Structure 1
Amino acid sequence: MCSERIGRCAFDQYDEVVREAVDYVPRRAAELVAEALLDTRVVVLNGARQVGKSTLAEKVLRQHGGAARYLDQGPVRAIAEADPGAFVQHDGLLLIDEVQRVPDLWLEIKHTVDRDPRPGRFLLTGSARLLALKELPDALPGRSETVELWPLSQGEIDGTTDGFVDSAFARGPELRVDWRELRKKDYLMRARRGGYPEALLRDSPRRRTKFFEGYLADLMARDVKQVADIDKASDMRKLMSLLAAQTAGMLSFNRLAGELGLSTNTVKRYVEILETIYLVRTVPAWSANATTRAVATPKVFFVDSGIAAHLGADEGALLENFVLGELARQLTWSETRATLHHYRDRDQYEVDAVLEDHLGRVIGVEVKAAESVRTDDFRGLRLLQRRLGDRFLAGFVLYSGEFSGSFGNGMTCLPISALWTS
């Protein structure tokens, strides 16, 4: 068997390497959790179902010491419901897994950390965005920090840097990466595989399909019901398929409402539910005074590209979803404090991803499925550059080819693998 990491192995060996690597692959969120426990009373590890929250929390607990209590176990949950005050008492760090199952614990945790404000008292995990659950009586303002755990990034799988965001802001158009023998079919394979640990363990696309089918059914039966009552589950499933068909595209609530036969407000509520359970994310439109013709419509992408592929996203949209997902993951741990947007104006100029840091500096990213790059691929990036002047640091076209190179005046092409090898 190949002894190197996935990024250095032939693609026909991926499944074997993933099975070996996925059980111990370090998560970048682990460092964020450990840092937060040093100065914060309550740390919440949140994210989609089956992304490895419990496993990560247990590893952090082993490093710090403490006790763990799992509310998916009936007897443990019964004790927590009967006497939540006694349940949360512990001298050191206490991990409570699936904490949303007993909402009364939140007030007891608040009382406990108010009386004893030492940092590192509680590490909490849950399967839906906890702060959005209506049953929660208090969101612990000023006492807690939430760390989001996404499906595995490509760098976590490959053991590489995952440093594009920081490198792009630090090096601008001078950024280059080593040659990689990855082409369009390889990137599509990665996108269809996704980043859920259990999906990575499946031996074939057919077996991964079974995982995605079960995952979505479980999501509908459990997580959706945690955050909202919906009239027809079939409407939500149809909405997910429609979103996959336009993934990484403009989010038109009116059009979706027409296709579903629902009100626009209902569709907006359904999309909010899908965001709450970490199935999709919306990317807000970016604008500035210098770009007054920008439109305000958001884009939507799936948190895991494997789900988008399972629901029918076409190749071009799937690769853009793949790139947006990797960028969004990196923004949770990058040293650069930046936000993710997209740009489109009434003249049909667009940029797939706009990263703006806290100083107002901008990096533009275009995604192309092709294995070659043309000057015209920089059309939207050059428009932003003209309008923003010195605020615009660099424009990148990420494509399915192998080489890095300059297209002049702050524009650079990079292989998509630059996302996790920079």
Structure 2
Amino acid sequence: MPDTSRLVPRRAESLVHEALEDTRVVLVNGARQVGKSTLTRLATDRQPTVLRLLDDPATLRAAKDDPTGFVEHDSLMVIDEIQLVPELLQPIKVSVDLDPTPGRYLLTGSSRILAMRTLPDALPGRMEVIELWPFSQGEMHGSPDRFIDAAFRHGPRIDHSSELRRRDYLERLVVGGFPEATRRTPRRRTAFFDSYLSTLIERDVLELASIERRGDLLKLVALLAGRAGGLLEPTVLASQSGIPRTTLIRYLELLASVFLIKSIPAWSSGQTRRAVGTPKLALVDTGIACHLIGQDPVRLGEPGGAAGSMMENFVVMELARQLTWSEERGRLYHYRTKEKQEVDAVIETPDGRVIGVEVKAGATVRTEDLTGLRNLANHLGDRFVAGYVLYAGQQTLPFGEKIRALPLDALWRLSP
């Protein structure tokens, strides 16, 4: 058994336990090196388990030679890196149809196997997918990670103070959340990111599709890092990269499939017809993004540095993580009107309640920083719960009835 004394508790562990209680197949899906294998060992260490590691060459051959025999078992079976042999999903489907007992299979994957075009029928109605992200700030620092629940429950009544300053946040951006990166010195962290990106392109992407010119893909990754927090416009990216638009769209799909980038859809409703429908781009980890654009905390903080876009990316991805475990079920969007009034993050619950989050990398908040939130509030009326400007200051500041500026670490320090 692994030594668990130094492991960082993951929010997803309880989600895995819950899913195994009532679902036949559970898939833990996420980027390479985020701790999927460790999570599954922790989640199953108190019950009989058959473990299959497809990274092992002999195990991989056995799975490919006899998929049906490979998945036969009497207890819970854990199959690590299922995307290496997607042919296993069909015999798993047959097995759980014959025996619908919950908790039959626990799978892990480092690409969005459900999106693979060559995959016909991937266990609809039989499998629950749990996404595992790089560490959240709350996981790393032992704090609640419940901003979303607190925001919907308390609205503008939230009052939070912080001891952190702008430099503290910039350092967090550069470290990111990959477990291996958080343990390393800056120089060794750079080596990790170089190796990670190389493996991602040379192995994971090539598992999904053949790439004619790998240099184009590497160039696109660097370009995307420089556009984090901006609109995801394939035509513009094609022009800037020199990659044909149809090829570029395919590359974007591949990079999303291996959890390097995430598309944040535009929010709109019948009341906001002037909203622009273009999605926004986010990189899953700001550590990798800062590495790609060559910025450390000092350069980020300089005039002309990328602190603004990186801070927005950081907040958006922390919110994306929290939505996987928050009690409030919601969807993440961004908001932008044709008049370019923007809100960096919008979360809407199934019953139509909405919070808005604007991000500022500085320690002051200006009146013009509130324009997008006020526009959204005016459109929504009573559906608008509250708007928050998350900034690098240390005090909560009121700006009208439903809008507050909060220290940025409210993201991971607040609880309902």
TM-score by length of 1: 0.92
- 1:7 maps to which residue? none
- 2:316 maps to which residue? 324
Which stretch shifts more, 286-295 or 188-197?
286-295
Letter paired with 2:14: E
Partner SS state of residue 129, structure 2: strand
TM-aligned CA deviation for residue 85 of structure 1: 2.0
- 1:201 maps to which residue? 183
Partner SS state of residue 26, structure 2: strand
Partner SS state of residue 335, structure 1: coil
How far apart, in 1, do the equivalents of 2:66 and 2:103 lie?
23
How far apart, in 1, do the equivalents of 2:282 and 2:372 lie?
20
Say if 2:354 is the partner of 1:352: no
- 1:112 maps to which residue? 95
- 2:106 maps to which residue? 123
Letter paired with 2:254: I
How far apart, in 2, do the equivalents of 1:358 and 1:106 lie?
32
TM-aligned CA deviation for residue 103 of structure 1: 2.5
Partner SS state of residue 102, structure 2: coil
Which stretch shifts more, 130-139 or 168-177?
130-139
Say if 2:169 is the partner of 1:187: yes
- 2:303 maps to which residue? none
- 2:388 maps to which residue? 396
Equivalent of 1:50 in 33, 40, 49: 33
Superposed counterparts of 1:283-294, under 5 Å:
283-294=264-275
CA contact (8 A) 2:86 2:113 kept: no
Q: Which runs of 5+ in 2 are unaligned?
A: 296-305
Distance 1:420 1:22, change over 3 A: farther
Number of equivalences: 401
Give the aligned CA root-mean-square deviation in angstroms.
1.5
TM-aligned CA deviation for residue 140 of structure 1: 0.6
TM-aligned CA deviation for residue 22 of structure 1: 9.4
Which stretch shifts more, 215-224 or 122-131?
122-131
- 1:274 maps to which residue? 255
TM-aligned CA deviation for residue 201 of structure 1: 1.2
Say if 2:7 is the partner of 1:24: yes
Equivalent of 1:76 in 47, 51, 59: 59
CA contact (8 A) 1:22 1:157 kept: no
Which stretch shifts more, 58-67 or 379-388?
58-67
Superposed counterparts of 1:202-241, under 5 Å:
202=184, 204-241=185-222
Distance 1:176 1:22, change over 3 A: farther
Equivalent of 1:382 in 370, 374, 386: 374
- 2:300 maps to which residue? none
TM-aligned CA deviation for residue 135 of structure 1: 4.2
CA contact (8 A) 1:191 1:305 kept: yes
- 1:60 maps to which residue? 43
Letter paired with 2:310: L
- 2:285 maps to which residue? 304
TM-aligned CA deviation for residue 69 of structure 1: 1.3
How far apart, in 2, do the equivalents of 1:321 and 1:305 lie?
7
Letter paired with 2:165: R
Q: Which runs of 5+ in 1 are unaligned?
A: 1-19
**Cα deviation 1:176-203 (Å, max 9, x = unaligned):** 22x321111110100110000010111x
TM-aligned CA deviation for residue 405 of structure 1: 2.5
- 1:34 maps to which residue? 17
Which stretch shifts more, 276-285 or 227-236?
227-236
Equivalent of 1:88 in 68, 71, 85: 71
How far apart, in 2, do the equivalents of 1:46 and 1:331 lie?
15
Partner SS state of residue 172, structure 1: helix
TM-aligned CA deviation for residue 230 of structure 1: 2.0
- 1:6 maps to which residue? none
Partner SS state of residue 394, structure 1: strand
TM-aligned CA deviation for residue 218 of structure 1: 0.3
How far apart, in 2, do the equivalents of 1:271 and 1:74 lie?
30
Letter paired with 1:343: Y
Partner SS state of residue 223, structure 2: helix
Percent pairwise identity: 53
Partner SS state of residue 76, structure 1: helix
Letter paired with 1:345: T
**Cα deviation 1:247-283 (Å, max 9, x = unaligned):** 0111121111111222222222111111111000010
CA contact (8 A) 1:71 1:77 kept: yes
TM-aligned CA deviation for residue 92 of structure 1: 1.3
Partner SS state of residue 289, structure 1: coil
TM-aligned CA deviation for residue 78 of structure 1: 2.1
Equivalent of 1:342 in 331, 334, 356: 334
How far apart, in 1, do the equivalents of 2:64 and 2:336 lie?
51
Partner SS state of residue 20, structure 2: helix
CA contact (8 A) 2:357 2:387 kept: yes
- 1:161 maps to which residue? 144
CA contact (8 A) 1:326 1:419 kept: yes
Partner SS state of residue 413, structure 1: strand
How far apart, in 1, do the equivalents of 2:62 and 2:131 lie?
28
How far apart, in 2, do the equivalents of 1:83 and 1:289 lie?
53
**Cα deviation 1:402-421 (Å, max 9, x = unaligned):** 11132121010101100100
**Cα deviation 1:129-178 (Å, max 9, x = unaligned):** 1212344343011111110000000000011100011111111111122x
How far apart, in 2, do the equivalents of 1:345 and 1:272 lie?
26
How far apart, in 2, do the equivalents of 1:83 and 1:227 lie?
22
Letter paired with 1:88: V
Say if 2:236 is the partner of 1:255: yes
Distance 1:223 1:119, change over 3 A: same
